[in-house]
């Protein structure tokens, strides 16, 4: 895993919310912990074993299991990886979580952003003040992620995987039901790497060249989550499409700053809600 200097939460300036091909708690808390949770803006919980290892405030602010770091894998295509000249939603997400007092580690085999083509060398985003690790793959369809994601998850051991996939499949003309089937296979493949991973599955943002296709896929997403969610490995849906316009994309497909803010903030809302449940 690549490493990068993590920004100090006291220095974060929170960013406000705002084609072409791309291939991309469960813990009981004490009254003291609940008070600390409110103070840190929605961190997370702890289990009983954590109670003996540190203060409630420290455990809550960590947003990680038993007071540890919360490991998040952003998974997808170029909407996750991003292109030179763009920071991606990952910066907004990082800022939100750090601003809430969370100790976060983004994980994955990729680093930085793409040069704008498949399997390009990693490039630096305009602002490198966030964790640059991820599992976004420019120009990839869902089936192309299947051969390696289990090993990526096994190596990185994320607590949460954020999935935004299917845009390339739509743009290639694949039907919604077929893409949905592949997404189901993807989720089961991820669990082969870590059986208790928490999965956040996105209804994807619209692509200007086929908004009907992205909307058709999104109608399948709730059903996928309902079928595959389990106690050990919940699957929850975040609606990234609602309130998102193709005008939020700089080229009809990839998020401009306004789109990055919408995506990042909705991911953050979902992560923080999980940590406080």
Q: Note the pLDDT of residue 275.
A: 73
Give per-residue pLDDT as tens, 130-146.
999 999 999 999 999 99
CA–CA distance, 82 with 187 (Å, rounded to integer): 22
Cα–Cα distance list, 151 to 6, 60, 81, 235 (Å): 25, 30, 19, 20
Task: Label residue 276 by pLDDT band (50, 70, 90).
Answer: low
Average pLDDT value for the chain: 82
Contact assessment for residue 204 and residue 216, using Cβ atoms and an 8 Å cutoff: no
Domains in the chain, ordered, with CATH?
25-65 (no CATH), 69-275 (3.40.50.1110)
Give per-residue pLDDT as tens, 205-263.
999 999 999 999 999 999 999 999 999 999 999 999 999 999 999 999 999 999 999 99
| pLDDT greater at residue 108 or residue 21 | 108
Radius of gyration of the chain (CA): 18
Phi-psi region of 108 (alpha: psi -120 to 50; beta: other; left: phi over 0): left
Total-model pTM: 0.79
Contact assessment for residue 81 and residue 88, using Cβ atoms and an 8 Å cutoff: yes
Q: Note the pLDDT of residue 104.
A: 93
CA neighbor of 124 nearest in space, from 171, 79, 87, 163: 87
- Give me the helices (H) in 102-238, please: 142-156, 167-171, 176-193, 211-228
**pLDDT at residue 33 above 80?**
no
Contact assessment for residue 169 and residue 179, using Cβ atoms and an 8 Å cutoff: yes
Task: Label residue 57 by pLDDT band (50, 70, 90).
Answer: very low
| pLDDT greater at residue 47 or residue 93 | 93
Task: Label residue 6 by pLDDT band (50, 70, 90).
Answer: very low
Cα–Cα distance list, 261 to 47, 55, 97, 235, 248 (Å): 32, 33, 13, 23, 10
Give per-residue pLDDT as tens, 77-117.
999 999 999 999 999 999 999 998 899 999 999 999 999 99
| pLDDT greater at residue 64 or residue 52 | 64
Q: Note the pLDDT of residue 66.
A: 56
Residues 6+ apart with CB under 8 A from 243: 262
Q: How many CB atoms lie within 10 A of CB 235?
A: 22
**pLDDT at residue 23 above 90?**
no
CA–CA distance, 74 with 158 (Å, rounded to integer): 10
Q: What are phi and psi of 67, to 5 degrees?
A: 80, 5
Taking each helix axis from N to C terminus, what angle separates 257-275 and 89-99, rounded to the nearest 10 degrees? Answer: 40
């Amino acid at each position: 895993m690549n490493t990068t200097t993590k920004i100090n939460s006291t220095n974060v300036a929170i960013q406000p919310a705002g084609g072409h091909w791309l291939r991309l708690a469960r813990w009981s808390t004490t009254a003291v912990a609940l008070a600390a949770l409110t103070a840190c803006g929605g961190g997370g919980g702890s289990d009983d074993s954590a109670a003996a290892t540190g203060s409630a405030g420290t455990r809550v602010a960590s947003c990680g299991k038993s007071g540890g770091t919360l490991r998040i894998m952003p998974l997808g295509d170029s909407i996750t990886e991003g292109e030179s000249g763009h920071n991606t939603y990952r910066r907004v997400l990082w800022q939100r979580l750090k601003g809430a007092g969370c100790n976060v580690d983004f994980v994955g085999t990729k680093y930085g952003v793409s040069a704008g083509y498949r399997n390009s060398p990693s490039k630096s985003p305009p602002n490198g003040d966030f964790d640059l690790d991820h599992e976004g793959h420019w120009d990839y369809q869902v089936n192309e992620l299947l051969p390696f994601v289990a090993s990526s998850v096994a190596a990185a051991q994320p607590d949460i995987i954020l999935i935004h996939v299917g845009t390339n499949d739509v743009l290639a003309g694949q039907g919604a039901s077929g893409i949905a089937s592949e997404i189901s296979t993807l989720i089961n493949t991820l669990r082969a790497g870590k059986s208790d991973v928490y999965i956040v599955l996105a209804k994807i943002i619209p692509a200007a060249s086929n908004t009907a296709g992205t909307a058709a896929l999104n109608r399948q997403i709730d059903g996928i989550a309902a079928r595959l969610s389990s106690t050990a490995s919940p699957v929850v849906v975040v609606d990234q499409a609602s309130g998102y316009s193709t005008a939020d994309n700089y080229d009809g497909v990839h998020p401009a700053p306004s789109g990055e803010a919408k995506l990042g903030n909705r991911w953050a809302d979902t992560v923080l809600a999980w940590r406080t449940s």
